[in-house]
A and B are shown apart, each in its own frame.
Chain A
Amino acid sequence: MLAKLIKFEWRYHTGKVLFFVGAGAFLFFGFMASAAGIRIPNIYMNSSYMISHITGLISLGSTFVITIFCANAMLKDNEHKMTGIIYATPVSKFQFLFSRFSGTFLASMAVFSFTTLGIFLSSFAPWLQAEKVGPINLLFYVWPLMVIALPNMLFCGSLVFLIATLTKNRIAVYLGGLFIYVLYIVGSIFSNSPLMAQSLPATAEAISMAAKLDPFGIAAYFEQTRYWTVLEKNTQLIALKGNLLINRLIWTLFSITILVISYKLFSFRSSERFRSKKKEIKKEPLEALKKYIPVSTFPNRVLAQWKALLSLTRMEIQTITKSLSFLVIILLWIFLIGSETLAGIDGGARISPSYPLTGDIISDIIEVISFFGVAVIIFYSSEQIWRNRTLQIDEIEDATPASNVSFFISKYIALITVPGILLFTSIVIGILIQLSKGYFNLDLPLYLSLFYYSGMPFLLIAALALFIQSLIPNKYLGMAITGIVVLITGSVIGGLFGIRHIMLRYAAHFSFVEYSGMNGFGQYAKAFHWIMIYWGALGMLFGLLTYGLWKRGKENGFMQRLKLLTLQLGTLGKVLAVICVLVFISSGSLIYFNTNVLSEYETNESRNDWSQAYEEKYKQYTDLPQPTVTLLRADVDLFPEKCSYQVRGYYILKNKHDQPVKKVLMGLSKEANLEHAEMIGAKRIESDEEFGHYWFEFQQPLQPNEEIKMHFEFTSSWNPFKGHARFNAIVENGSFIRMSRYFPNFGYNQDNELSNPDIRRERGLPEIDEGIALLKRTDSTKDAYDYIDYEVTVSTSEDQIAVTSGNLIKKWKENNRNYFHYKMDRLIPFRFAFSSAAYAMEKTTHKGIDLEIYYHPEHAYNVQRFLNSAKKSIDYLISQFGPYQYKHLRFVEVSAFTSGFAATSYPNTIYILENRGFVTDLRDANEPDILQQLTAHEMAHQWWPGQVDPEIMEGRQMLVETLAQYAEIMIYEKTYDKSLANKAMNVELDLYLRDRSFEKEPPLYRVDFNPAVAYSKGMKVVYAIQDLIGEDKMNQALRNLIARHAYPKPPPNSYDFLDALYEVSSQEHHQLIDDWLKKIMLYDLKVISANYEQMADGQYKVDMKVMTKKHEEDGLGIEKHVKIDEEFEIGIFTVKPKQAQDAKGVLYLKKHHFNNDTTELSVIVNEKPVSAGIDPYVIMIDKDRMDNVIAVEERNE
């Protein structure tokens, strides 16, 4: 019987279109996520790690499937008014529920397993390279399905099942499903889950907690695999142990409990108890009977149509807003937007919070609402079209003389009211959050602009959704199609199908505009207006068609309505349609002109083609001897309001080679247009506009050490329809331009090459292993620094200040423009940038250095703190590393239209992004002070590489970033205390362990661009060396490095740094220095047991058993045990382990020497110990730092 019933249910589900649509969709998701999704170098796309990852992520989407299936299964009787019949059959409650649930569950599982099939098939995708695909192991596919997806389905299924049994209401079930989803996302935000791609990893405690509590097990999966090496990622199955096992058990039990509860609560009788009580209306005495008299009607009058429209609209809006589903949606939304906004401000537990700026809040809203709003519109658009039919009031209304225009418009208005209310709610929440944080600078006009920038796309999507719903005869199919159309034309998914051009992306939804506090919406607003006109015309056309095809009455098929289309539209409608088409075409032409005609439209493909062609044509000139720039003079005119600039200037070029130079290959970035170029004594013989290369030939070859002059003139501008290059952001306010990149350069430009090894392989280009020169000992005594004499005059608009490197020697006003003359009094590298904005400025002098800070007047919060942090940094840097080389030090705020750094250091000038530091809320003294960290780091760059500019080869990043990191943490520790410094270093440790396995890991001394190693591991390791040999000796070594290698002495490389360290330290430490800098060493230090007893003299004897393991890894994760022979700190504390790690309650702290994997030791202390640890402050690179300190137990014999 039961088997039969289950079979019946199975047939019911699998017989529906939805089943096939769902299966197809999951097949597609699985395939795409795997075939076109994330790639990690060296990790197979069909490794267990990747498959589990994708399965886990997509299993979130299974919520929707099981919700719909469950609603169908549990409510089909209700909705078809069959309950009376079904419930009266002899099927028992158990059989009934069990079969319904198993049917739902099996069918959902079946649909979801198509994901796995999709992932499986993806490894056969023809465009993949053999190297990306590892050996096929079926277990890799099935295992995650069992361990991750199956319990997840059970979890979602049991919850929606409970809701279905309790409420017997479809909407409630759907909302339940949505609620699980939203709850999950919100939970992820707060638990700082790796799912959210936070820039900073969560603390180990938080990760362990999340791993247990995440009902989808994804956090547990991440916890287990977070430190996996490349090798493990490729070969290892996730293991049902530890937190993952606990997690799966907890949630499976939870699901079963919920199912049992549902069973208990289910009743065959219909549920009245969840309906609200009806209000009693008291009877009124009957008045004298009025007589019915016909009343004349004037349905043709405009007033009547208008009133009908109003009445219909009111009715529609009321019906929506009075429903339970709407209330729940609004609550969900408040929950979602509130937590998103708060999370955005708080920035997680490990960095400082920001002030709740209106600009940041609206950016959050725009981002979060884009998906939610669309989902809501899709849901309500189907309601709008189908509601009256479902309610069966359609015949009555359709028989009235109210016009189709009124019906259509009222439905449309009510539909767009919903996102309107969502936006309004977000604004209220935003303001409340601002007020609650004691922030009163509410920018109401900016809030209101949301209704345009975020609301306008909703208007268009609503028109599209109604149009599709009116065409498609099935509500759910209509919703699915609308969803697919919007996702494909609007979101990144479209990119997979090549839909990237703005003219193909309907409504330009999903964040076209960006907002910056300094620059507002900038030039993008203008493009947005045009794009809205363009899509608005199409949206209007959709509206007209929807109206023209309006379905009134019953049984009027599509063909019938199509026949009536022109009649229905009438003359006005037809004229409007023609106007729409004309507007669409003309605004489209304008946009096309801007995107494709003014300059070539670029796709990824065409860009790659270009790079390949460039390499093939010019690679041969890599070693062609070229002259070097030694002097630069330029007039730079910035036109922020026009998003353009113009440069006129000259170089002095010198032949630094031993042989004469005959031909010069001048190059110019694609961002710049050459207006003029003239080299004295040389003729331009060839121009290659395509690649921005120009050949000059000397009449008399340029002899060694000979110099010549070259004049040039170029312009650069951008167009909001196409977007701007992030480092060439000439914008209305807060421009930042790394302009040295756009000045003429010489010789083959390696930056133009394709760097992605996969793409190179695809295109048959030779592998580039020498992306950077291999580290080798050099004894270059010649002038390896290509430094220049730098002097420029920069002009900008009247209300702005322009800043670049150098001393400001003059400023004046001319032709309503501001001019600034900057001159460097010493040579600098060929590296300079410009910024321009309506700045406010604050300055002070410290140790003879002029400190200046240029900031956006509205971002004045931390100006004094910046200056103080700078002073603290200067004190340390000068006293430890030697004098500062310039007179000035400037901090300059730039708009977030630039990105890619938090701050960037140029000679005597540091540019800082507006949303970093300037708006950090430092009112709470206990929070970490990222401002001090940032300032110290950037200022340290004035020494490293400002004074010691290492050779461009492997290891350069160690001498640049690692040393800046070292200075940063030392200054931070001096300014605050060990506890905050430890916290900062723990963040780095977690970052290193999390990110290191995403590519082949180099040892620190050979590091190239690899932040996990250069920044994170670097800070830890150099700090550890300092701890080993002492801060004095460490800094002595660094001073020696400067003394020997500062300009104009020959530049250093990693070996020189190592030598400097060996020189100051005793022989016994050299091995460890090598271990840490030249190898990949990981430690596993832990206290196995610790207990104490009070001795006769009142002192306490602590006995500890500790484990001290150490192993070396190759870059891919193959481990080798290393015998231990070194010292670690042993600490005994009067506080609990967690506080002890915060550097509190020290009773005993001393280094002990270890040479075994496990050691027993005893320590005598004066007070009663609470916890004991080895390396309690985690100076070593330790994979598990939580077990370094444990509580001490009293020994009881």
Chain B
Amino acid sequence: MNELIINNINKTYANGVKALDDVSVTITNGMFGLLGPNGAGKSTLMRTIAALQEPDEGSISFNGNDVIKDPSAIRRQLGYLPQEFGVYPKISAYRLLDHLAILKGILDNRERKEQIEALLQQTNLYQDRKKVVSTFSGGMRQRFGIAQALLGDPQLIIVDEPTAGLDPEERNRFHNLLSEIGENIIVLLSTHIVEDVRDLCTRMAIMSEGGLVLEGEPRQLIKDLRGKIWEKAISKDALEAHKAAYTVISTRLFAGETQIHVLSDDDPGQGFQTHEPGLEDVYFSILFDQQSVNC
């Protein structure tokens, strides 16, 4: 059983942005989803765990090894996909994967070849394996990134927005691949796509402004919200009035009308209908809480 323990880590960038605010969390085998708005600090947290940058304070340990003091320990067991990455120019996908596999320490040539080919097939890049990676489309490149993160025998996989830019089919393929391997190791993924978390993750957390504001099992979190979400379709002009009167956690345009979700323990009446909560509502309600705390 792998165990990643994060204790009270803080990080303030040189420009004064507090990107991590006293984050503590313990993660064990399984898929762990990280949700949060842009700039919440997800990528910062992931880079910190991957020992690519040091926190100002706090500690991180992976299977008992101190990540900050001895980064090499975690690197040996890590698969990492950054949110943005580039590649060497004029190098084919296969060559680059081979190179990274060697860096990861796969010594056996045949094993390495087998695994690379498997990964290329699993990410549907096999036919493009001789193509130069820098000419890949955004989605293809993203899949390449996923493939390289899985090289070797990682015990901890950190993938920062792995599904960004994937078409629905490829996203599906990715989900299947991850869920297969995610049982025995830790997979930490950040995303803006709530369904990714709902479909894949056994546990999740929501980040906002550098802090972890919620952590739990997606199913349980949804269950906790049951009966508290109310829905109503209103005209655009009425939005302000509703916002003033109710705790509107989200608004969405649907077929030309504005649909609002309201958080309320009781039926607010006024044409509101009860709504079966989804993970999205969990996300919005918690962010709404967070914002009102700050205001």
Residues of A within 8 A of B (CB): 278, 281, 283-284, 286-287, 289-301, 303-304, 307-308, 311-312, 315, 318-319, 322-323, 390-393, 395-403, 552-557, 560
B37 at the interface (CB under 8 A from A): no
- A555 (CB) vs chain B CBs: closest residue: B53
A294, B153: Cβ atoms closer than 8 Å: yes
Q: Given that A290-B118, A297-B105, A299-B104 are known contacts, is A553 also in contact with B53, CB under 8 Å in the complex? A: yes
Contacts of B84 in A (CB 8 A): 392
Between-chain CB contacts (< 8 Å), 28 pairs: A284-B127, A286-B121, A286-B126, A286-B127, A289-B121, A290-B114, A292-B177, A296-B152, A297-B76, A298-B105, A298-B107, A301-B107, A303-B107, A308-B102, A315-B91, A315-B99, A318-B90, A319-B89, A319-B91, A393-B87, A395-B47, A395-B52, A396-B82, A401-B78, A401-B103, A553-B53, A554-B47, A555-B14
Contact of A319 (CB < 8 Å), options: B71, B72, B88, B127: B88
Contact of B103 (CB < 8 Å), options: A289, A303, A308, A556: A308
A396, B117: Cβ atoms closer than 8 Å: no
A555, B85: Cβ atoms closer than 8 Å: no
A289, B122: Cβ atoms closer than 8 Å: yes
A306 smallest CB distance to B (angstroms): 10
* 0/1 interface trace, chain B 128-151, chain A, CB 8 Å (1 if under): 101110010000000001001011
Contact of B86 (CB < 8 Å), options: A281, A323, A391, A398: A391
Q: Given that A297-B106, A312-B103 are known contacts, is A556 also in contact with B121, CB under 8 Å in the complex? A: no
Contacts of A319 in B (CB 8 A): 88-91
The answer for the CA separation of A292 and B145 in the assembled complex, in Å, is: 15
B:95-114 near A, CB below 8 Å: 98-100, 102-108, 111-112, 114
A292, B118: Cβ atoms closer than 8 Å: yes
A556, B53: Cβ atoms closer than 8 Å: yes
A307, B102: Cβ atoms closer than 8 Å: yes
Q: Given that A295-B153, A554-B53, A556-B53 are known contacts, is A399 also in contact with B111, CB under 8 Å in the complex? A: no
Contacts of B78 in A (CB 8 A): 399, 401
Q: Given that A391-B86, A392-B86, A396-B80 are known contacts, is A553 also in contact with B103, CB under 8 Å in the complex? A: no
B72, A292: Cβ atoms closer than 8 Å: no
Q: Given that A278-B135, A292-B122 are known contacts, is A391 also in contact with B89, CB under 8 Å in the complex? A: yes
* 0/1 interface trace, chain B 50-94, chain A, CB 8 Å (1 if under): 111110000000000000000110011010111011111111000
A399, B122: Cβ atoms closer than 8 Å: no
A602 smallest CB distance to B (angstroms): 52
A321 smallest CB distance to B (angstroms): 10
- B90 (CB) vs chain A CBs: closest residue: A322
A295, B76: Cβ atoms closer than 8 Å: no
Count residues on chain B whose CB falls below 8 Å from chain A CBs: 60
B202 at the interface (CB under 8 A from A): no
Residues of B within 8 A of A (CB): 13-14, 47, 50-54, 71-72, 75-76, 78, 80-82, 84-91, 98-100, 102-108, 111-112, 114-115, 117-119, 121-122, 126-128, 130-132, 135, 145, 148, 150-154, 177, 180-181
The answer for the CA separation of A1064 and B135 in the assembled complex, in Å, is: 91
Q: Given that A281-B131, A286-B126, A392-B86 are known contacts, is A397 also in contact with B103, CB under 8 Å in the complex? A: yes
The answer for the CA separation of A971 and B58 in the assembled complex, in Å, is: 94
The answer for the CA separation of A403 and B181 in the assembled complex, in Å, is: 27
- B109 (CB) vs chain A CBs: closest residue: A307
Q: Given that A303-B107, A391-B88 are known contacts, is A293 also in contact with B115, CB under 8 Å in the complex? A: yes
Q: Given that A284-B127, A399-B50, A554-B52 are known contacts, is A292 also in contact with B86, CB under 8 Å in the complex? A: no
B103, A311: Cβ atoms closer than 8 Å: yes
A647 smallest CB distance to B (angstroms): 68
Contact of A323 (CB < 8 Å), options: B72, B81, B82, B89: B89
The answer for the CA separation of A297 and B100 in the assembled complex, in Å, is: 12
The answer for the CA separation of A557 and B56 in the assembled complex, in Å, is: 12
The answer for the CA separation of A445 and B148 in the assembled complex, in Å, is: 47
Contact of A396 (CB < 8 Å), options: B85, B131, B150: B85
B153 smallest CB distance to A (angstroms): 4
Contacts of A315 in B (CB 8 A): 88, 91, 99
The answer for the CA separation of A278 and B111 in the assembled complex, in Å, is: 31
A400, B104: Cβ atoms closer than 8 Å: yes
Contact of B150 (CB < 8 Å), options: A283, A291, A292, A318: A292
Contacts of B115 in A (CB 8 A): 292-295
B244 smallest CB distance to A (angstroms): 38
Contact of A560 (CB < 8 Å), options: B54, B82, B107: B54
Contacts of B112 in A (CB 8 A): 295
Contacts of A290 in B (CB 8 A): 114, 117-118, 121-122
7 shortest interchain CB distances as A-B pairs = A299-B105, A553-B52, A392-B86, A297-B105, A290-B118, A294-B153, A399-B80
Identify which of A290, A311, A557 gathers the most chain B CB atoms within 10 Å of its CB: A290
Contact of B105 (CB < 8 Å), options: A398, A401, A552: A401
Contacts of B152 in A (CB 8 A): 294-297
B86, A297: Cβ atoms closer than 8 Å: no
B25 smallest CB distance to A (angstroms): 20
A401, B104: Cβ atoms closer than 8 Å: yes
Identify which of A286, A315, A400, A560 gathers the most chain B CB atoms within 10 Å of its CB: A400
The answer for the CA separation of A391 and B112 in the assembled complex, in Å, is: 25
B91, A399: Cβ atoms closer than 8 Å: no
- A316 (CB) vs chain B CBs: closest residue: B88
A530 smallest CB distance to B (angstroms): 40
B91, A318: Cβ atoms closer than 8 Å: yes
B189 smallest CB distance to A (angstroms): 15
The answer for the CA separation of A997 and B263 in the assembled complex, in Å, is: 98
A292, B180: Cβ atoms closer than 8 Å: yes
The answer for the CA separation of A554 and B46 in the assembled complex, in Å, is: 12
Contacts of A401 in B (CB 8 A): 72, 75-76, 78, 103-105
Contacts of B82 in A (CB 8 A): 392, 395-396
Contacts of B85 in A (CB 8 A): 392-393, 395-396
Contact of A402 (CB < 8 Å), options: B71, B90, B103, B126: B103
The answer for the CA separation of A318 and B98 in the assembled complex, in Å, is: 15
The answer for the CA separation of A492 and B4 in the assembled complex, in Å, is: 59
Contacts of B128 in A (CB 8 A): 281
The answer for the CA separation of A1166 and B75 in the assembled complex, in Å, is: 100
The answer for the CA separation of A750 and B141 in the assembled complex, in Å, is: 81
Contacts of A398 in B (CB 8 A): 52
- B83 (CB) vs chain A CBs: closest residue: A395
The answer for the CA separation of A1034 and B15 in the assembled complex, in Å, is: 91
Contacts of B102 in A (CB 8 A): 304, 307-308, 311
The answer for the CA separation of A303 and B47 in the assembled complex, in Å, is: 28
Contacts of A397 in B (CB 8 A): 100, 103
Contacts of B14 in A (CB 8 A): 555, 557
The answer for the CA separation of A396 and B71 in the assembled complex, in Å, is: 15
The answer for the CA separation of A468 and B60 in the assembled complex, in Å, is: 33
- B69 (CB) vs chain A CBs: closest residue: A567
Q: Given that A287-B121, A319-B89 are known contacts, is A399 also in contact with B75, CB under 8 Å in the complex? A: yes
B127, A292: Cβ atoms closer than 8 Å: no
Contacts of B130 in A (CB 8 A): 281
Contacts of B104 in A (CB 8 A): 297, 299, 400-402
- A285 (CB) vs chain B CBs: closest residue: B127
Given A281-B130, A396-B81, A403-B72; 18 other pairs, CB 8 A cutoff: A286-B126, A289-B122, A292-B150, A294-B153, A294-B154, A294-B181, A297-B104, A297-B105, A297-B107, A297-B152, A298-B105, A300-B76, A311-B99, A315-B99, A395-B80, A396-B82, A397-B100, A399-B50
Contacts of A291 in B (CB 8 A): 118
A567 smallest CB distance to B (angstroms): 9
Contacts of A396 in B (CB 8 A): 80-82, 85, 100, 145, 148
Contacts of B98 in A (CB 8 A): 311
The answer for the CA separation of A307 and B80 in the assembled complex, in Å, is: 21
A297 smallest CB distance to B (angstroms): 4
The answer for the CA separation of A397 and B99 in the assembled complex, in Å, is: 10
The answer for the CA separation of A301 and B151 in the assembled complex, in Å, is: 18
Contact of A399 (CB < 8 Å), options: B52, B121, B127, B180: B52
Contacts of A312 in B (CB 8 A): 99, 103
